[in-house]
């Protein structure tokens, strides 16, 4: 008979938590969160963000890990095991992350380049012009993107235990230590830090609109790696020994803590070294990329000699964060292909990484050209176009599906009676103590409704804000979903899509 210990699962509970935290902590925390905070008026946004984590994120987190743990399989099989007709959601949460990989690695590549370049001083990338000319270069950003992808692929090839878990256990503590160090440094920069702190910590609700609320929800899902299969896939590699509720809470808390620390690292330094006027919207014209690729390099060079070291520490930390995230996004499709087509891990990873690298090249060109109107779709550079589809539409949809699945469909007889649901959840290791009943109500009613509401009003708001061209983004999203539904019922509905045990069997036959 088979051994009970898993060959290719996480070896320990803490290994799982660190790997999942590694997935969650990424560019979303170190870049997205501070720049969205800045764009949406500061502390009020932070407060709303925390509410989103509490009322939507944590509920979806528990649900996704639960779905994976219960199924011990890739996301398609996992949703099939809930209800066969829901299998297409499993396919959706494989396809969308694979799109995300293609632009996430472009940003990861930039970060790698900035880390390498930290010691170049004023001749390096310390001003806006150098950033624009760097990203507009047709070769260098692509080289760094592929390099970054190769690093991620090497880790995935080594497997869940010997790759993902092993590196997360080293890299996550390292990241945290660097971050705390930078926060301390930043808070001791002297006069001028107070206004940065106040901006980040004292809410002024007149600065926050409903679009800020929508942004906070999107940001929470993105930052917690939700709605995109990651937590289902990682959850599937856990066994009975994991305390699901506790692990989910630890992941949410750690992810939020890192986002808050990132704010504490940046805002005081920006106000102290650049001036208060840089806090809101991060100075005139500095959009998203502006924060870590334009403003921060200027902050580092204002620090004088130590700035080079701080810059290196900072960008090395961002590389770590992005790397442990990208491996989790890629693992979702690698897992599915291995199990459905019985291919081996190394070959599968190589193919996925190569295809994504190819797609990332035009994306890199498009973002670079965006500053002077190069490659674009309906006026959006490719990165923004794809990011909008994922963030505003498909990610909330995936999280909605996870809540609906656990709340209503996992077992008709059980979900009809909330008390039985609770008991069965407990048997599966979802132990939340007094919060158990709250979870049952949230996952069934409140969270799905909230997600749907914010998602729909988000679309309306975005169309109002960006004009009718935004309908192309919505249309593309709908098209992707329609295509995946068709593909699912045609190719995967009747076929067995495999489970984790298949990879173990594959390895055995090879050995
Ligand atoms: N959470 C990561 C970040 O904050 C990105 C990420 C990893 C992600 N896996 C994901 C986002 C799955 C959405 C879905 O940068």
Sorted by sequence, the CB contacts under 8 Å of residue 270 that are 6+ apart come out as 196, 278, 279, 282, 295, 299
The proportion of the chain whose per-residue pLDDT surpasses 90, expressed as a percent, equals 53
What residues does 380 pair with on adjacent strands? 377
pLDDT, greater one: 119 or 333: 333
pLDDT digits (tens, 9 = 90+) for 437-467: 888 889 989 999 999 988 898 888 888 888 8
How far apart are the CA of 325 and the centre of ligand 1, in A? Answer: 6
- Topology (CATH level 3) of domain 13-502: Amino acid/polyamine transporter I (1.20.1740)
Nearest-CA residue for ligand 1 atom 12 is 225
Q: φ and ψ at 204, to 5 degrees?
A: -130, 100
Instruction: Give one DSSP letter per residue of 308-329, joined into a string.
Output: HHHHHHHHHHHHHHHHHHHHHH
The residue behind tokens 């979806």 is 60
What is the model's pLDDT at position 382? Answer: 78
Q: Which two tokens stand for residue 375?
A: 């490659």
How far apart are the CA of 123 and the centre of ligand 1, in A? Answer: 33
Q: Which two tokens stand for residue 261?
A: 């620390």
* 377 has pLDDT over 80: no
* 279 has pLDDT over 80: no
Q: Positive or negative CA dihedral for 284, 204, 194, 118?
A: negative
Q: Which atom of ligand 1 is nearest to the CA of 25?
A: 4
Burial of 221 (0-12, 13-18, 19+ CB in 10 A): buried
Q: Which atom of ligand 1 is nearest to the CA of 321?
A: 15
363 torsion bin: left (phi>0), alpha (psi -120 to 50), beta (else): alpha
What residues does 377 pair with on adjacent strands? 380
The pTM for the full model equals: 0.91
How far apart are the CA of 41 and the centre of ligand 1, in A? Answer: 24
pLDDT, greater one: 47 or 408: 47
pLDDT digits (tens, 9 = 90+) for 46-75: 999 999 999 999 999 999 999 999 999 999
**Structural domain boundaries of the chain?**
13-502
* 404 has pLDDT over 60: yes
What is the model's pLDDT at position 367? Answer: 73
Q: How confident is the model at residue 375 (pLDDT cuts 50, 70, 90)?
A: low
* C-alpha–C-alpha distance, residues 227 and 329, integer Å: 11
Which of 109-123, 354-368, 478-492 is predicted least confidently? 109-123
What is the model's pLDDT at position 439? Answer: 87
Q: How confident is the model at residue 374 (pLDDT cuts 50, 70, 90)?
A: low
What is the model's pLDDT at position 286? Answer: 44
* C-alpha–C-alpha distance, residues 308 and 116, integer Å: 11
What is the model's pLDDT at position 338? Answer: 96
pLDDT digits (tens, 9 = 90+) for 5-44: 556 799 999 999 999 999 999 999 999 999 889 888 889 9
Nearest-CA residue for ligand 1 atom 8 is 225
pLDDT, greater one: 408 or 368: 408
What is the model's pLDDT at position 283? Answer: 41
What is the model's pLDDT at position 507? Answer: 81
How far apart are the CA of 342 and the centre of ligand 1, in A? Answer: 27
Q: φ and ψ at 377, to 5 degrees?
A: -120, 115
Mean predicted confidence (pLDDT) in 340-355? 96
**CA-to-CA dists, residue 102 to 91, 359, 411, angstroms:** 17, 6, 36
What is the model's pLDDT at position 234? Answer: 97
* C-alpha–C-alpha distance, residues 267 and 189, integer Å: 11
Q: Which atom of ligand 1 is nearest to the CA of 329?
A: 9
CA angle 458, 460, 465 (to 5 degrees): 90
Q: How confident is the model at residue 264 (pLDDT cuts 50, 70, 90)?
A: very high
Which of 115-119, 282-286, 357-361 is predicted least confidently? 282-286
Q: Which atom of ligand 1 is nearest to the CA of 390?
A: 13
How far apart are the CA of 100 and the centre of ligand 1, in A? Answer: 9
Which of 189-203, 205-219, 390-404, 423-437 is predicted least confidently? 423-437
Instruction: Give one DSSP letter per residue of 338-404, joined into a string.
Output: HHHH---HHHHHHHHHHHHHHHHHHHHHHHHHGGGT-S-BTTB-HHHHHHHIIIIIIHHHHHHHHHH
What distance lies between CA 287 and its chain's CA centroid?
A: 20
Select from 228, 258, 335, 390 the residue to mutate for testing ligand 1; criterion: most ligand atoms less than 8 Å from CB.
Answer: 228
What is the model's pLDDT at position 494? Answer: 94
Q: Which letter does DSSP use for residue 417 in this model? A: S
How far apart are the CA of 228 and the centre of ligand 1, in A? Answer: 8
* 93 has pLDDT over 90: yes
Q: Which letter does DSSP use for residue 238 in this model? A: -
Side-chain-facing half-sphere of 424: CA atoms under 13 Å:
18
Q: How confident is the model at residue 284 (pLDDT cuts 50, 70, 90)?
A: very low
How far apart are the CA of 252 and the centre of ligand 1, in A? Answer: 13
Q: How confident is the model at residue 3 (pLDDT cuts 50, 70, 90)?
A: very low
Which residues line the pocket of ligand 1, CB cutoff 6 A?
23-24, 26-29, 97, 222-223, 225, 228, 230, 325, 328-329
Nearest-CA residue for ligand 1 atom 14 is 225
Please state, rounded to an integer, the average pLDDT across all residues of the chain. Answer: 87
Select from 222, 224, 332 the residue to mutate for testing ligand 1; criterion: most ligand atoms less than 8 Å from CB.
Answer: 222
Q: How confident is the model at residue 414 (pLDDT cuts 50, 70, 90)?
A: low
What is the model's pLDDT at position 2? Answer: 39
Are residues 175 and 317 in contact, defined by beta-carbon separation less than 8 angstroms? Answer: yes
Q: Which atom of ligand 1 is nearest to the CA of 24?
A: 1
Nearest-CA residue for ligand 1 atom 9 is 225
CA angle 160, 164, 165 (to 5 degrees): 85
Select from 21, 22, 25, 28 the residue to mutate for testing ligand 1; criterion: most ligand atoms less than 8 Å from CB.
Answer: 28
How far apart are the CA of 206 and the centre of ligand 1, in A? Answer: 30
Select from 49, 64, 93, 100 the residue to mutate for testing ligand 1; criterion: most ligand atoms less than 8 Å from CB.
Answer: 100
**CA-to-CA dists, residue 307 to 304, 340, 409, angstroms:** 5, 50, 54
* 216 has pLDDT over 80: yes
pLDDT digits (tens, 9 = 90+) for 297-338: 888 888 888 888 888 999 999 999 999 999 999 999 999 999
How far apart are the CA of 378 and the centre of ligand 1, in A? Answer: 26
Q: φ and ψ at 81, to 5 degrees?
A: -70, -20
Q: Which two tokens stand for residue 142?
A: 């692509």
Are residues 451 and 399 in contact, defined by beta-carbon separation less than 8 angstroms? Answer: yes
Select from 22, 24, 172, 334 the residue to mutate for testing ligand 1; criterion: most ligand atoms less than 8 Å from CB.
Answer: 24
Sorted by sequence, the CB contacts under 8 Å of residue 159 that are 6+ apart come out as 8, 345
The residue behind tokens 């803590």 is 257
Are residues 37 and 45 in contact, defined by beta-carbon separation less than 8 angstroms? Answer: yes
378 torsion bin: left (phi>0), alpha (psi -120 to 50), beta (else): left
What is the model's pLDDT at position 125? Answer: 52
Mean predicted confidence (pLDDT) in 259-288? 76
Side-chain-facing half-sphere of 192: CA atoms under 13 Å:
15
Q: Which atom of ligand 1 is nearest to the CA of 26?
A: 15
Burial of 121 (0-12, 13-18, 19+ CB in 10 A): middle
Q: Which two tokens stand for residue 29?
A: 């925390």
Select from 23, 292, 402 the residue to mutate for testing ligand 1; criterion: most ligand atoms less than 8 Å from CB.
Answer: 23
Q: How confident is the model at residue 157 (pLDDT cuts 50, 70, 90)?
A: very high
Are residues 195 and 275 in contact, defined by beta-carbon separation less than 8 angstroms? Answer: no
How far apart are the CA of 223 and the centre of ligand 1, in A? Answer: 5
What is the model's pLDDT at position 256? Answer: 98
């Amino acid at each position: 008979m088979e051994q009970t210990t898993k060959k290719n699962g996480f070896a320990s509970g803490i290994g799982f938590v660190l790997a999942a935290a590694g997935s969650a902590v990424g560019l979303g925390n170190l870049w997205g969160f501070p720049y969205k905070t800045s764009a949406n008026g500061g502390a009020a946004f932070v407060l709303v963000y925390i509410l989103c984590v509490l009322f939507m994120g944590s509920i979806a987190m528990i649900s996704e890990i639960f779905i994976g743990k219960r199924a011990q399989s890739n996301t398609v099989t996992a949703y099939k095991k809930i209800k066969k007709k829901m299998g297409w959601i499993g396919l959706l949460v494989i396809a969308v992350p694979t799109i995300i990989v293609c632009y996430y690695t472009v940003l990861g590549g930039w970060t790698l380049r900035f880390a390498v370049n930290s010691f170049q001083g004023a001749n390096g990338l310390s001003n806006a012009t150098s950033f624009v000319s760097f990203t507009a270069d047709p070769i260098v950003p692509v080289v760094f993107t592929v390099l970054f992808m190769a690093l991620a692929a090497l880790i995935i090839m080594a497997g869940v235990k010997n790759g993902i878990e092993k590196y997360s256990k080293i890299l996550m503590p390292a990241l945290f230590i660097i971050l705390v160090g930078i926060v301390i440094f930043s808070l001791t920069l002297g006069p001028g830090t107070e206004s940065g702190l106040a901006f980040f910590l004292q809410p002024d609700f007149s600065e926050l609109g409903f679009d800020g609320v929508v942004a906070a929800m999107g940001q929470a899902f993105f930052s917690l790696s939700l709605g995109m299969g990651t937590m289902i896939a990682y959850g599937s590699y856990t066994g009975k020994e994991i305390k699901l509720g506790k692990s989910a809470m630890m992941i949410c808390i750690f992810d939020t803590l890192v986002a808050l620390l990132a704010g504490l690292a940046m805002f005081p330094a920006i106000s102290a070294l650049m001036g208060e006027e840089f806090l809101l919207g991060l100075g005139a014209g500095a959009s998203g990329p502006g924060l870590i690729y334009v403003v921060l390099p200027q902050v580092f060079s204002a620090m004088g000699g130590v700035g080079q070291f701080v810059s290196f520490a900072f960008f090395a930390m961002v590389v770590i964060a992005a790397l442990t995230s990208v491996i989790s996004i890629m693992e979702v499709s690698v897992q599915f292909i291995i199990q459905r087509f019985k291919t081996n891990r190394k070959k599968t990873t190589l193919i996925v990484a190569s295809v994504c690298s190819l797609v990332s090249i035009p994306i890199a060109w498009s973002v670079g050209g965006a500053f002077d109107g190069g490659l674009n779709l309906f006026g959006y550079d490719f990165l923004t176009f794809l990011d909008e589809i994922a963030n505003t539409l498909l990610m909330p949809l995936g999280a909605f599906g996870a809540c609906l699945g656990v709340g209503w469909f996992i077992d008709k007889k059980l979900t009809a009676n909330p008390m039985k649901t609770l008991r069965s959840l407990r048997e599966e290791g979802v132990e939340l103590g007094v919060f158990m009943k709250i979870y049952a109500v949230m996952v069934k009613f409140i969270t799905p409704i909230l997600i749907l509401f914010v998602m729909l009003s988000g679309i309306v708001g975005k169309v109002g804000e960006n004009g009718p061209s935004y309908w192309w983004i919505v249309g593309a999203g709908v098209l992707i979903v329609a295509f995946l539904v068709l593909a699912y019922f045609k190719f995967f509905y009747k076929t067995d899509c495999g489970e984790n045990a298949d990879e173990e069997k594959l390895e055995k036959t090879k050995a």
